[in-house]
Amino acid sequence: MTERKTIRKWFFVWDFEKEEEWLNEMALSGWALVSVGFCRYTFERTEPGEYIIRLEMHKHDPSYLAFMEETNAEYVGRVFQWIYFRRKSEYGPFDIFSDIDSKIEHLRNICRVLFLLGIGNILIGIGNSLNGLNIGWINLICGSLLMYGLGNLRGKVTYLEKERKLRE
């Protein structure tokens, strides 16, 4: 029987690169991701470094999953809009984004979601506060946190856009 373990861990949406880095550190230490859930990661014991893990925000698209399988990437699971893949290291480097433009577009998609959620929370928080409800502060804090994450990602987009201009 294969040894398994489950770890509960939280990452903010704008820290998806840290999440991916952590998942790859786990794989390097011999724990490959086999399933995901909300703040839940299940790993199984494998050879250290056997897998490379990648994740991306992507709408549900069976043809995209089929395309990824053609590149020898295994679909591990989905949490909301986030898809998790793993691929054996023996196939070589595993990058979902082939160029700077695709990275920028991915970050912009995440920014759009954060913006809508942030504005929605702020408006609900203001509405609740004006109506005398004592819970409006929760939405205001959530909205502010989402806008903070949006700022972080916008900074990454700006950096990549400058990088793209340097390479042109």
| Distance in angstroms (rounded) separating the CA atoms of residues 146 and 135 | 18
| Distance in angstroms (rounded) separating the CA atoms of residues 116 and 54 | 25
Q: What is the pLDDT of residue 131?
A: 85
- Indicate the domain borders of the chain: 4-91, 100-167
Angle at 51 between CA 102 and CA 79, to 5 degrees: 60
What's the whole-model pTM score?
0.89
Q: Which of 76, 6, 90 is nearest to 34 (CA)?
A: 76
Q: Which of 49, 5, 9 is nearest to 30 (CA)?
A: 49
- Tens of pLDDT along the chain (168 residues) come to 789 999 999 999 999 999 999 999 999 999 999 999 999 999 999 999 999 999 999 998 999 999 999 999 999 999 999 999 999 999 999 999 989 999 999 999 999 999 999 999 999 999 988 888 788 899 999 999 999 999 999 999 999 999 999 887
